[in-house]
């Protein structure tokens, strides 16, 4: 999206109002509290949003251009101070207002981030994460967890015994292991059970406690 903005417009002005106030307890470079421009401090309470915000002005002149010029500035302080600064600057001449901003050079290697900052020249020559980890997979795809995963081994063993016992009908299992007996787009419950009864050779001693980082502090039997 950032790359598209840079090629679709000719000039971009960014007023980073920062803020965070009570939400993040942020402070400006001078160490003083930095509040949201949309925050109002009343006699008894503070109202309005307290998350960081920014104002972006995008101009398209219609003239041929390869990449937009980006002008950036930070505003720090109390909410009313930022609003007053914006109001005062609105009356400045174009040349004077331009002095309030710094030019921002964006780079494809840095994903066209619209923030000032710098890195060592060698940093951008490092391998990207997708170049380091060539083989990727999404990890565990949780499905039918209610019946296949248990904190305690015994309830899981009982469910699996019923599921792999051909004496139990699909109607009985629908009340005892409902997640396993419910069809979904790519899962046919009856056909899956029929195949597993023929091929799985299920045994209780195959139920082991496996530890994996699936959810925080979650160690289950599967």
Residue 199 lies in a domain: yes
Is 15 within a domain?
yes
Mean pLDDT estimate for the chain: 83
Do residues 48 and 106 both lie within one domain? yes
Confidence of residue 151 (pLDDT cuts 50, 70, 90): confident
Angle at the Cα of 130 from the Cα atoms of 124 and 134, rounded to 5 degrees: 135
Are 17 and 76 found together in one domain?
Answer: yes
Same domain membership, residue 162 and residue 89: no
Q: Are residues 111 and 17 in the same domain?
A: yes
Residue ranges making up the domain that contains 167? 145-221
Q: Is residue 81 part of a domain?
A: yes
Q: Is 194 domain-assigned?
A: yes
What pLDDT, in 10s, does the model give residues 56-92? 999 999 888 888 999 999 999 988 899 999 999 999 9
Sign of CA dihedral 204, 206, 211, 213: negative
Whether 55 maps to a domain, the answer reads yes
Maximal CA-CA distance, the chain? 87
pTM assigned to the model: 0.55
Count other Cβ atoms within 10 Å, centred on residue 11: 14
Tens of pLDDT, residue by residue over 163-196, are: 999 999 999 999 999 999 999 888 999 999 999 9
């Amino acid at each position: 999206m950032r790359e598209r903005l840079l090629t679709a417009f000719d000039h971009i002005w960014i007023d980073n109002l920062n803020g965070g106030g009570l939400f993040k307890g942020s402070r400006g470079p001078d160490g003083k509290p930095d509040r949201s421009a949309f925050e109002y401090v009343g006699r008894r309470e503070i109202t309005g949003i307290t998350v960081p915000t920014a104002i972006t002005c995008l101009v398209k002149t219609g003239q041929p251009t390869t990449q937009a010029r980006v002008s950036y500035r930070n505003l720090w302080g109390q909410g009313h101070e930022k609003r007053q600064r914006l109001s005062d600057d609105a009356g400045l001449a174009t040349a004077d207002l331009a002095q309030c901003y710094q030019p921002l050079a964006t780079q494809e290697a840095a994903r066209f981030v619209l923030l000032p900052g710098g890195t060592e020249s060698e940093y951008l020559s490092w391998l990207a994460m997708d170049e380091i980890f060539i083989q990727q997979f999404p990890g565990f795809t949780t499905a039918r967890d209610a019946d296949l995963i248990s904190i305690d081994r015994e309830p899981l063993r009982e469910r699996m015994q019923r599921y792999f016992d051909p004496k139990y009908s699909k109607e009985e299992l629908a009340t005892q292991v409902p997640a396993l007996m419910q069809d979904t787009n790519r899962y046919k419950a009856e056909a899956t059970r029929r195949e597993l009864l023929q091929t799985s050779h299920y045994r209780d001693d195959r139920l082991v406690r496996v530890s994996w980082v699936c959810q925080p502090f979650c160690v289950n039997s599967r």
